[in-house]
Amino acid sequence: MTVHHSRRACLLVALTLVFCVLAVDADTPGANASLSSALAPAQPVTLGESLENLGRLYQDKNNPVLQELWFLGRYHGQQHWSDANRGPYEESWENRRLRFGAQAKFFNKLTLHAQMLSGTDLEPFYGGFTELWAQWSFSDTLNLTIGQQKHRFSHERNVSSRYMNYLERSMLTNMFALDYTPAVTLSGKIGRFNYYTGVFSNATSRSIGRSFTDFDSGWSFLANLTYDLGKSLGTDTAFLNVSYLRSDPDASATLMTRFEHGVAAALIFTEGPLSLVTEVTFGLGGARGDAHGLNLQPGLFLTDKLQIVARYQLAISDQRTGLTAQRRYERNVGLNTGDLYRAGYAGLNYYIAGHRLKLITGVEYSKMGDRDCWTGMAAVRLFWGPHAQGPFPMAQTLEGMW
């Protein structure tokens, strides 16, 4: 990355932090507080609580036209060091994600959302839109969304990068080549069930015009269902998530091309400072055979801000080259394809302001065939805008053991 690009990245982050301070001041209650309230002892407020509505520019639930307006976005920067037994050593800093956008709610029914992204290391600075959609809420049980939106196959993919406890999603999840594409979806909550289903295009483009007019890449169907188990299993929280993917790509498809069918199931538990996500994933059909995998993600909050995390991945294919190593960062140091993949990760995360601003560090060992790789990672993650809801770790941290 050039010095010019580094300075531009630093400037963008600095401007974002200035905005954070302004947003906290603007959102702090008390502008119309009574004198007695002003003289009352100040209540302790954490930085995370102060930034809870970071990015909210306007809110008035009594306004019949405009109820909310948000400035939203995220910045993720990370450093990695990778060393393999049969490949070159590599290290680099990457401006992993930079996104800006806005979201507004009208008439208590209509939500408009637009979010642009930059390319890796800000090249190009404008790389199209990750999301550009309109949603009409008929009720809590039925929401219709049309436009470019996130493909939510598997619990791991459903968890936004804003809330992930580690740097990259698992190898098998990434093999599905899921991304933001034009789609028509239905979602809602019925009792203890949350559902999300729809039909997606199998390609997108930096040109949003092409994305919404060129539908010659095939299609995919997704159904995702989450059931709230409550305390039935003796834990503080428990959720079951199941999802199904059917993909029918054409020759021009760029996404969701690896498997014809996907099935995933996850159990998500929290108990005090402990968390555990267990997910199994199956990829079926396709020219390179089937694959299935296991993803275990335990975690422990030592304090309200300090978390120990771990992850174990196991993936198996029925074809000798049915699995493909992670583009970040394994392929660059010699891992390529195989039929058996194993990886273990251990990390330490510090939540400066909850998920709004956090530091992520970790070490991962991965092995495929006769090649293995060690990768050390350190990252900063910042976001502003409305929270997303869902099972752990979405928009939540746990109370620490100390």
| pLDDT tens by residue, 228-244 | 999 999 999 999 999 99
d(CA 44, CA 16): 25
Distances (CA, A) of 159 to 78, 241, 295, 370: 19, 12, 14, 32
Structure confidence at residue 42 (pLDDT):
54
Domain with 20, as residue range(s), is 3-384
Structure confidence at residue 125 (pLDDT):
87
Which tops the pLDDT comparison, 335 or 205?
335
Report the chain's C-alpha Rg in angstroms: 22
Residue 391 lies in a domain: no
Confidence of residue 31 (pLDDT cuts 50, 70, 90): very low
Query: Is the per-residue pLDDT at 26 higher than 50?
Result: no
Confidence of residue 151 (pLDDT cuts 50, 70, 90): very high
Cis amide leading into 393 (omega within 30): yes
Residue 114 lies in a domain: yes
d(CA 394, CA 228): 14
Structure confidence at residue 253 (pLDDT):
84
Backbone angles phi, psi at 401, to 5 degrees: -75, -20
How many domains does one find in the chain? Answer: 1
Structure confidence at residue 34 (pLDDT):
39
Residue 239 lies in a domain: yes
- Percent of the chain beyond pLDDT 70? 87
d(CA 205, CA 199): 17
Residue 393 lies in a domain: no
CATH number for the domain that contains residue 12: 2.40.160.10
For the segment 214-225, the average pLDDT, to the nearest whole number, is 88
| pLDDT tens by residue, 79-98 | 999 999 998 999 999 999 99
Query: Is the per-residue pLDDT at 39 higher than 60?
Result: no
d(CA 332, CA 100): 30
Query: Is the per-residue pLDDT at 307 higher than 60?
Result: yes
Residue 136, both tokens: 């009409």
Residue 83 lies in a domain: yes
Q: To the nearest whole number, what is the mean pLDDT of the chain?
A: 89
Residue 401 lies in a domain: no
Residue by residue, DSSP assigns 129-156 as EEEEEEEEEEETTEEEEEEEE----SHH
Query: Is the per-residue pLDDT at 149 higher than 50?
Result: yes
Which tops the pLDDT comparison, 257 or 314?
314
Residue 163 lies in a domain: yes
Residue 278 lies in a domain: yes
